[in-house]
Chains A and B, each alone.
Chain A
Amino acid sequence: MTALQTALADGVTITKRNILKIRRAPDLLGGAITFPIVFVLLFAYVFGSMIELPGMSYREYMLPGIFVQTIVMSAQITGYTLTLDLQKGIFDRFRTLPMAPSAVLIGQTLGDVLMNVASLVSMALVGLVVGWRIHSAPHEAVLGFLVLLLFAYAFSWVTATVALSLRTPEVFNNIATIVSMPLVFLSNAFVDSTRLPGPLQVAAEWNPVSAVIQAIRELFGNTSAAMPVPDAWPLRHPVTATLLWSALLLIVFVPLATRLYKRAVSR
């Protein structure tokens, strides 16, 4: 077998392991489904009844925001699971086997894509119940979900890198929360970024999360002609910007996480 074939075969083996784990640990999957539902309902009924937007309902505006918030939050599961595995010693077994070192991380991140699919489906269904609608062509809607999953996948590698450098579940959880909160809230997820004060507006408009949200708003047709798109380049070309961001994250963090994995288990 070539190195690439080995890496793929091993990646599949580890992905299967992670799917079995998800099936046997219903708390993980349950969390991935119920948390976002609670968010949708809270935001829809608490903020949705207070905030008025020109030309569209706040519920339609915020749902893409919640989609992205959820994938950013659930990417943390990748990191958290890795820190747990590090402590349990199963990585010692993996490291003495003639397997591709990248396979463990590929398997972990692919398993988490499935978790993301589950949360997206549950959120979309609840969203439809509370009044969110897709106004675009079916192929655009599908593209919207794919773009989301791609960014989620790339972002998993970021959390994997952070987890492997921090090593303990508790420390990882604290840091991940501190980093992900501003990432989600300093964006156009729940507020119109053009109404933020100067420096915050710049930060929000160049935040990759904003580009992703803008991209799926456009792909799902959750936009309003009465709400002008900001001038920042990523928001003018949100789909391209999201693809570029995802590619950049993968190029930087796949090798970085793999290096850290090799090092983390050989101490």
Chain B
Amino acid sequence: MSPAILAEGLVKKYGDVVALDGVDLAVPEGTVFALLGPNGAGKTTTVRILTTLLRPDAGRATVAGFDVVAEADRLRARIGASGQYAAVDDHLTGAENLEMVGRLYHLGVRRSKQRARELLERFDLTEAADRPVRGYSGGMRRRLDLAGALVADPPVLFLDEPTTGLDPRARASLWDVVAELVAGGTTVLLTTQYLEEADRLAQTIAVVDHGRVIALGTADELKGQVGGDRVELTLSRPEDVDVARRALAPVAAGETRADAATLRLTIPVSTGTAALTSALGLLAAERVAVRDAVLRRPTLDEVFLTLTGHQAGEPAKSAKSKEYSR
């Protein structure tokens, strides 16, 4: 079976900026594929090429068997897309927005209306359905835009940072929607900045940085590469830092990092909560006072540090300082 999404050597340049530097992807039908990467990695650019909004400078891609450039017209009937910035019409109500999308997918008047109501309900927008979108909150717009991507029940779905700006409940319900769709055979490509989200939803994760795929695999494979969970401890006394670091050596599965300013120790561990319990036991034995202790998943920054040897974004800068806004 040929993949639902296939990209080979996609390149896109904006003047001197190389947004994509040879991206290859293959997404099997009926699976979720996550593009994980920091700001400016090229996630949106990839999605825009695959949804026919941009032409690549080099390389080729097919979605649902159609070439994204040469067969763009026929392809559009088979995809649904929700971009990073909500593409909704401010003057129209939520229901009118979705009905318009249905009409433009040529679903007919009755089906468009019915589908609009279904989706408004599914995205918890029934109460706001007949209000102009101008008065919607950011998260409501976002949900309406996501609903817009689902109007025609497309076999391939593209979601660019679908949960950014959603509250926890809306986020959880979007995850449910995606899981349901995939169970029904839909192929989903989504982008995210959160490993946890990719982990929850995606069979395959591609880590992108500087326009290239730098790692590809299942969530477990990637986590294996970055060494599983982290125990994070905050101490009470500065003089304990070195003692604690030595005491914790038996539970550490990798290099322990210590931050003298915040008194925080980050220890890669491989045995989850058991590691947390033994870490606390070891510290108690040394009479080290612990103010706070958590077990957490690796952050995107840690994935990056391990995979690329530099922080997310440019080597010398932190991930946050490199942002691109339209």
Contact = CB atoms under 8 A, between A and B. Distances in A.
A25 B103 CA distance: 23
Interface of chain A, main secondary structure: helix
A213 B106 CA distance: 42
A133 interface: no
B92 interface: yes
Contact count band on A: 20 to 34
B69 to A, nearest CB: 10
B243 interface: no
B54 A267 contact: yes
Interface string B98-109: 001101111000
Interface string A75-98: 000000000000011111111111
A165 to B, nearest CB: 19
Interface stretch (B83-91, B186-194, B211-219, B279-287): B83-91
Interface of chain B, main secondary structure: loop
A57 B188 CA distance: 71
Contacts of B148: 93
B116 interface: no
Nearest to B148: A93
B51 interface: yes
Contacts of B73: 98
A6 B52 CA distance: 19
Interface string A218-248: 0000000000000000000000000000000
A204 B33 CA distance: 64
Interface in A1-42: 1, 6, 9-10, 13, 16-17, 20-21, 24-25
Given A1-B106, A9-B106, A24-B132, A96 B53 contact: yes
Nearest to A267: B54
A94 B104 contact: yes
Residue among B79, B85, B87 with most chain A CB within 10 A: B87
Interface string B152-170: 0000000000000000000
A179 B51 CA distance: 38
A174 interface: no
A166 B220 CA distance: 50
Interface of A: 1, 6, 9-10, 13, 16-17, 20-21, 24-25, 88-99, 103, 265-267
